[in-house]
Structures are given as structure tokens and as C-alpha cells.
């Protein structure tokens, strides 16, 4: 990051090549708090914390736009115009519309609120790095935080929310910030053949369709066609049993809890879809954090995009059976391990070899009624953040959209032994056709591990 002064008005932060592979959208979260404090007092606290966060880390107050005199056509950077806390933070009074206790009693269902009411106008502000909306409900607050995906991935979103929370509780958030947050150096040198055709998760658009020239706001993983969405909860005890069921004593490599969870969901959802014999296979894609997979590893506190899509989890439909969960988990693990330093460096080379980086785009997602894909927030300890006396700790995080068919989000792990959060474990939200979701509810193997919320 090149900074000319402390107020963040005269610097340009060039995004790394692989930042351009993320969809040009905002990633938003709904954050539920239980509070009866005066809304005006809460709003003033949030605005003050946001102002201090912007002062300490000016990137979040900027805009994403084309970089002049860039080394590659279409290169993006965070730059002017910059916005103040007053411009970034909006509010909405929904106390007569929603009640925190009523939502909590239903386990924070995915359709608890109208997204159009609680989410900032992202389309009209698509170039801003950060948008925040405070939605005051009876007995609580729904805080919506939306960050531009080309600037951050999930790990980066957490660091920004950690910064904001630290100022809300009166700490000096600037002590959190390190040069490594924005050091793109490890991501600027590719190595390998750099052939784009070796990375089918990305597509090369025509010159006329390049995002360098077409700046319309585009959706990516949430779209039309989904008729139902549900929250499934896996307790810590159930996750332990599931992992044991998905491992063989002689199995190598090691299987993670995430591998086991994804194997069960993939198998169960495939069975619920009742695909015919004419459907030969199903594919499972997962978003993988590449920081620890690089050599040398990148710091976990780097905020930019170091996420990649697995492409090797493909199985014949008959093999996607709960009885074969160990084989399915091994297939997923192999796909994850395929994202290694050599592959990441080759992806960087491929991106840097394109004449106009704006022509590159993620392929998006189409389940075709048989594929599944997931992204995970489980590794980020959102529920441990202290937001101060007026807000306390987060009670639930949710995804502010109806998910497309076959997409599921793994929410942050709920710590055990926290009376304000309930039983420890992991929630997921999944989008499926309504009839498929009803059949999934009756899946006997799945019911051994999940509670429906």
C-alpha cells in the first residue's frame, strides 16, 4: 500500500493479480446482537468505531477502480473517492417489524428478515470497498457488513470486523494492523506453464465483455431458481461421530472434520435429488484458503484474496451413497490437497499472462440439479469478538441471500459452553429445490447427525 498521508486521501492500493479472480461483488454478512441499549447510543458508538477504523486502515474507506498506468490492462486498485463513516454507515428502524426474541426462538431462520430492508444498496454503490447498515429491531440489532470481494476474502472480512469490534469496545484497533495485512509481494510472481486452460474454474471473456469496459454489478452464487433454503446444525458430538465414520484406520491422507461434513452433505443431497441413470456423475466444488498452502506460507492475517476453487471432486452418482462416506471424504481431501504451492503459482502466472485482466472471471455456479458447492466461514472466530458493553458478542451470523440450488455455506463454529449461544457446533445453510429439501429432511443417515433449524 502506498500511502501519502494518514487521512487516506492520497494513496493507491494495487490489488494482487488473483484478487481479480474473485467475483466483482460485495460479500455481506448479517450479524445478530441481543441488546436493549438506546439505538441512538449504539449508532454513535458504531459510527465512532468506524471512523477510527477508517483512520487506522484507510483502505476500507476507499473505492475499487481501474488503476492508471498499471502494468497490466484492467488492473484494479483501491483509490479515490474516499468516504467517511457518516457516508458508509446507514441505519434503519425496524423495531415495529422484527423482534429479536421471536427470531432467536426460531433459531434465526434464513428467511427471518426481508433482505431488501436490512442490506445496503450494493448495486448503486458497487465500487465502494465497505458498506455497513445498522438495523434496529425490538430487543436487538442486525448489523449488515458488506465488503468488496476483489479487496478481501473471508479471512480479510474477519480482520476488518475484528478491527471494528475492537474500537466498539474501547480498544486501540490500530495495534491490530500490521504491514502483512496488505503485503501482496508473495502473490506477484507466478511460476509454471501459466496456461489458462489448465484452470477451468476461470473463463476468458471476449474483449467486448471485459470488466475493464463493462462495469455492471453482477451476481455470482445467489440467483433465481432456488425455491427453498434451510439451516442444519451439527453439534460438536455429532461432528466427532461423523469424522470417525468418514475415516478408515489405514486411510491416508488425514481426513478433516470439514471433509467429513461435506461428504455427508454431498451424498445426502445427491440421494434426495433422485437422479436417474442417465445422469452419470456429480461434481463438488469447495473454496480453499491458499495461505498455508504457499511456500513460504502467507500470514493468516493477509486480507486480500488467496482463495481457490477445487475442481477434482467428481464421482459417479451410484458411489455417492452414505455407505461410501469414507471414499467420498477421501475424494474431497485429494481435491483440497491438489491446491498446492505449485498450482497456486501457476494460477498466478496464468492470470498475469492475460492481455486484459478484466477479461478473466470466475465461471459462476450452475448446479444443473446435480452438483454441489460450498464456502466456509468456520475457521474465523466471529463469536469470540467482544463488541463492547452496548452490543456484547455476536449471537448469530447469517448469509443475506437465498442460496442458489446446490450451494451451501458453512457458518462459523459456535463455541461450546457459552450460555448465550446454545450448544456448541457448526451450522450450515443450504439451498435446494423445495421438493428435494423435503426429501433431505427424511434422510435417515443425515438425521443421525443434524438438527434442522
Give tens-digit pLDDT for 382-403. 999 999 999 999 999 999 888 8
The three-class DSSP label of residue 344 is helix
149/221 Cα distance (integer angstroms): 13
Q: What is the pLDDT of residue 420?
A: 80
Residues 25 and 165 in one domain: yes
Same domain, 204 and 278: no
Of the residues 209, 243, 277, the one at which a domain ends: 209
Q: Quick one: 152 and 246 in the same domain? A: no
Average pLDDT estimate for 191-203:
95
183 shares its domain with 267: no
Measured CA distances, 432 to 114, 231, 309 (Å)? 19, 12, 21
The pTM of the whole model exceeds 0.85: yes
Q: From 153, 180, 209, give the residue that closes a domain.
A: 209
Q: Is the pLDDT of residue 6 over 50?
A: no
Mark whether 195 and 241 lie in a shared domain: no
Question: Does a structural domain hold residue 322?
Answer: yes
Q: How many residues in total does the chain contain?
A: 453
Cα torsion through 42, 43, 44, 45, rounded to 10:
50
pLDDT at 418: 77
Between the alpha carbon of residue 273 and those of residues 155, 317, 387, the distances in Å are 33, 11, 42
Q: Which residue has the cell 474516499?
A: 82
Q: Which pLDDT value is given to residue 228?
A: 87
Tell whether 244 is covered by a domain. Answer: yes
> What residue ranges in 49-128 does DSSP mark as E strands?
63-66, 76-79, 89-93
Whether the per-residue pLDDT at 419 is higher than 80: the answer is no
Contact assessment for residue 374 and residue 219, using Cβ atoms and an 8 Å cutoff: no
If one compares 276 and 173, the residue with the highest pLDDT of the two is 173
Dihedral class, residue 9 (left if φ above 0, else alpha if ψ from -120 to 50, else beta): alpha
384 in a domain, yes or no? no
Comparing CA positions, the residue from 137, 142, 109, 129 lying closest to residue 33 is: 142
Cβ burial of 262 (10 Å; 0-12, 13-18, 19+) is buried
181 and 242, same domain (yes or no): no
Closest-CA residue to 146 (of 228, 28, 49) = 28
Task: Tell me 308's DSSP state.
Answer: E
More confident residue, 434 or 222: 434
Question: Within this chain, do residues 419 and 353 fall inside the same structural domain, yes or no?
Answer: yes
> Do 247 and 115 fall into the same domain?
no
The whole-angstrom separation of Cα 84 and Cα 86 is 5
Q: What is the mean pLDDT of residues 103-126?
A: 94
Residue 383 φ/ψ, nearest 5 degrees: -75, -10
CA geometry: angle 368, 359, 190, nearest 5 deg: 100
Gap between the Cα atoms of 84 and 58, Å rounded: 10
Query: What gap in Å lies between CA 244 and CA 432, rounded to an integer?
Result: 27
| 3 lies in some domain | no
Q: Are 142 and 32 in contact (CB under 8 A)?
A: yes
Rounded-to-integer distance, Cα 139 and Cα 295, Å = 48
CB atoms under 10 Å from CB of 207, counted, come to 13
Q: Would you call 292 exposed, middle or buried from its count of C-beta atoms within 10 A (0-12, 13-18, 19+)?
A: exposed
End-to-end Cα distance, the chain: 44
Can you give the pLDDT at residue 7?
Answer: 46
Query: What single DSSP character describes residue 74?
Result: T
Secondary structure of residue 131 in the 3-state scheme: strand
Question: Within its chain, how far is the Cα of 330 from the centroid?
Answer: 24
> For the stretch 108-127, what's the b/e string if a residue is b when 16 or more beta carbons lie within 10 angstroms of its beta carbon?
bebebbebeebbbebeebbb
pLDDT of residue 222: 47
Residue 221: the pLDDT is: 53
Domain co-membership, 62 together with 137: yes
Q: pLDDT tens digits, residue range 286-320?
A: 999 999 999 999 999 999 999 999 999 999 999 99
pLDDT for the residue numbered 363: 87
Q: State yes or no: pLDDT of 13 exceeds 70.
A: yes
Residue 39 maps to a domain? yes
Q: Are residues 340 and 268 in the same domain?
A: yes
Q: Does 362 or 146 have the greater pLDDT score?
A: 146
**Partners of 99 in beta bridges:** 138
The sign of the torsion formed by the CA atoms of 191, 194, 199, 204 equals positive
- In terms of residue numbers, what domain contains 437? 228-378+401-452
Q: For the segment 143-180, what is each residue's pLDDT rounded down to a tens digit?
A: 999 999 999 999 999 999 999 999 999 999 999 999 99
Residue 5 pLDDT = 35
| CATH code of the domain in which 349 resides | 3.30.559.10
Query: Given pLDDT bands bounded at 50, 70 and 90, which one contains residue 218?
Result: low
Provide the mean pLDDT of the chain. Answer: 93
Q: Is residue 149 part of a domain?
A: yes
Is 390 part of any domain?
A: no
Has residue 98 been placed in a domain?
A: yes
In this prediction, residues 258-280 reach a mean pLDDT of 95
- Among 174, 209, 244, the domain boundary falls at 209
- Band the pLDDT of 9: cuts 50, 70, 90: low
Q: Are 284 and 424 found together in one domain?
A: yes
Q: How many structural domains compose the chain?
A: 2
Q: How far apart are CA 47 and CA 119, in angstroms?
A: 17
**Residue 124 φ/ψ, nearest 5 degrees:** -80, -15
* pLDDT per position as a tens digit, 41-52: 999 999 999 999
Average pLDDT over residues 109-127: 94
Say whether both 443 and 349 belong to one domain: yes
70 vs 90: which has the higher pLDDT: 90
Give the position of cell 440439479: 369
Amino acid at each position: 500500500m502506498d500511502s501519502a498521508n494518514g487521512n487516506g486521501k492520497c494513496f493507491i492500493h494495487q490489488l494482487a493479480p488473483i484478487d481479480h479472480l474473485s467475483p466483482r461483488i460485495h460479500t455481506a454478512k448479517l450479524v445478530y446482537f441481543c441488546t436493549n441499549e438506546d439505538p441512538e447510543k449504539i449508532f454513535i458508538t458504531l459510527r465512532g468505531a468506524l471512523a477510527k477504523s477508517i483512520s487506522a486502515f484507510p483502505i476500507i474507506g476507499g473505492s475499487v477502480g481501474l488503476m492508471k498506468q498499471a502494468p497490466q490492462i484492467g488492473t484494479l486498485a483501491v483509490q479515490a473517492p474516499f468516504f467517511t463513516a457518516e457516508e458508509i454507515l446507514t441505519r434503519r428502524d425496524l423495531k415495529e417489524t422484527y423482534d429479536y426474541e421471536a427470531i432467536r426462538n426460531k433459531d434465526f431462520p434464513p428467511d427471518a428478515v426481508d433482505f431488501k430492508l436490512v442490506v445496503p444498496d450494493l448495486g448503486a454503490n458497487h465500487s465502494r470497498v465497505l458498506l455497513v447498515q445498522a438495523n434496529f429491531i425490538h430487543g436487538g440489532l442486525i448489523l449488515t457488513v458488506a465488503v468488496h470481494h476483489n479487496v478481501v476474502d473471508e479471512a480479510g472480512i474477519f480482520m476488518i470486523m475484528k478491527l471494528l469490534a475492537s474500537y466498539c469496545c474501547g480498544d486501540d484497533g490500530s495495534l491490530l494492523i500490521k504491514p502483512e495485512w496488505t503485503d501482496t509481494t508473495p502473490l506477484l510472481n507466478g511460476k509454471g506453464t501459466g496456461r489458462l486452460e489448465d484452470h477451468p474454474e476461470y473463463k476468458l471473456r471476449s474483449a467486448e465483455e471485459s470488466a475493464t469496459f463493462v462495469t455492471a454489478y453482477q451476481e455470482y452464487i445467489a440467483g433465481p431458481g432456488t425455491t427453498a433454503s434451510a439451516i442444519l446444525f451439527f453439534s460438536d458430538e455429532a461432528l466427532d461421530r461423523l469424522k470417525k465414520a468418514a475415516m478408515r484406520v489405514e486411510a491416508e491422507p488425514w481426513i478433516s472434520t470439514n471433509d467429513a461434513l461435506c461428504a455427508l452433505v454431498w451424498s445426502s443431497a445427491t440421494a434426495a435429488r433422485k437422479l436417474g441413470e442417465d445422469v452419470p456423475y456429480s461434481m463438488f466444488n469447495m473454496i480453499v484458503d491458499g495461505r498455508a498452502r504457499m511456500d513460504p506460507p502467507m500470514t493468516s492475517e493477509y486480507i486480500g484474496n488467496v482463495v481457490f476453487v477445487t475442481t477434482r471432486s467428481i464421482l459417479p452418482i451410484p458411489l455417492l451413497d452414505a455407505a461410501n462416506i469414507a471414499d467420498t471424504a477421501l475424494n474431497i481431501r485429494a481435491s483440497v490437497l491438489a491446491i498446492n504451492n505449485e498450482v497456486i503459482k501457476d494460477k498466478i502466472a496464468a492470470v498475469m499472462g492475460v492481455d486484459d485482466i478484466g477479461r478473466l472471471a470466475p465461471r459462476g455456479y450452475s448446479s444443473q440439479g446435480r452438483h454441489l458447492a460450498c464456502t466456509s466461514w468456520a475457521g474465523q472466530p466471529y463469536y469470540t469478538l467482544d463488541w463492547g458493553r452496548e452490543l456484547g458478542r455476536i449471537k448469530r451470523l447469517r448469509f443475506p441471500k437465498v442460496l442458489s440450488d446446490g450451494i451451501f455455506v458453512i457458518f462459523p463454529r459456535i463455541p461450546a459452553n457459552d450460555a448465550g449461544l446454545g450448544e456448541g457446533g457448526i451450522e450450515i445453510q443450504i439451498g435446494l429445490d423445495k421438493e428435494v429439501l423435503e426429501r433431505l429432511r427424511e434422510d435417515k443417515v443425515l438425521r443421525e447427525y443434524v438438527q434442522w433449524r
